[in-house]
Amino acid sequence: MSLDRFNQLAKKWDSKPERVEGALCFVDEIFKTIKEDTSNFNTLDYGCGSGLVSFALMEQVKTVTGMDFSTGMIDIYNQKIQSLEFNNISSLLHDINNQELDFNTYDLAVTNMTMHHIKDTNIFIKKLSSSLKPNGYLCIADLEIEDGTFHSCNDGVEHFGFNINNIEKSYKDNNLKNIIVKQLQVINKPNNNFSVFIAIGQKI
Ligand SMILES: C[S@@+](CC[C@H](N)C(=O)[O-])C[C@H]1O[C@@H](n2cnc3c(N)ncnc32)[C@H](O)[C@@H]1O
Q: How many angstroms separate the alpha carbon of residue 112 from the centre of ligand 1?
A: 8
* Model confidence band, residue 2 (pLDDT cutoffs 50, 70, 90): confident
| CATH number of the CATH domain containing 10 | 3.40.50.150
Q: How many angstroms separate the alpha carbon of residue 99 from the centre of ligand 1?
A: 15
pTM for this entry: 0.98
How do residues 158-177 score in pLDDT, each as one tens digit? 999 999 999 999 999 999 99
* Ligand 1 atom nearest to 10, measured from its CA: 27
Q: How far is CA 9 from CA 3, 120, 187, in A?
A: 10, 24, 20
Q: Is the pLDDT of residue 1 over 60?
A: no
Ligand 1-lining residues (CB < 6 angstroms): 6, 19, 23, 47-49, 52-53, 68-70, 73, 94-97, 112-114, 117-118
CA 28/CA 56 separation, integer angstroms: 9
Domain count, the chain: 1
Which of 64, 114, 118 has the most ligand 1 atoms within 8 A of CB, as the residue to mutate? 114
Q: For the stretch 68-92, what's the b/e string if a residue is b when 16 or more beta carbons lie within 10 angstroms of its beta carbon? A: bbbebbbebbeebbeeeeebbbebe
Q: How many angstroms separate the alpha carbon of residue 32 from the centre of ligand 1?
A: 24
Mean pLDDT taken over the chain: 97
Name residues whose C-beta falls within 8 Å of residue 9's C-beta, 6 or more positions apart in sequence: 1, 72
Q: Is the pLDDT of residue 11 over 80?
A: yes
Strand order in the sheet with 106-112: 89-93, 63-68, 42-46, 106-112, 132-143, 193-203, 176-188
Which domain covers residue 122, as residue numbers? 3-203
112-122 mean pLDDT: 97
56-80 mean pLDDT: 98
Q: What is the pLDDT of residue 87?
A: 84
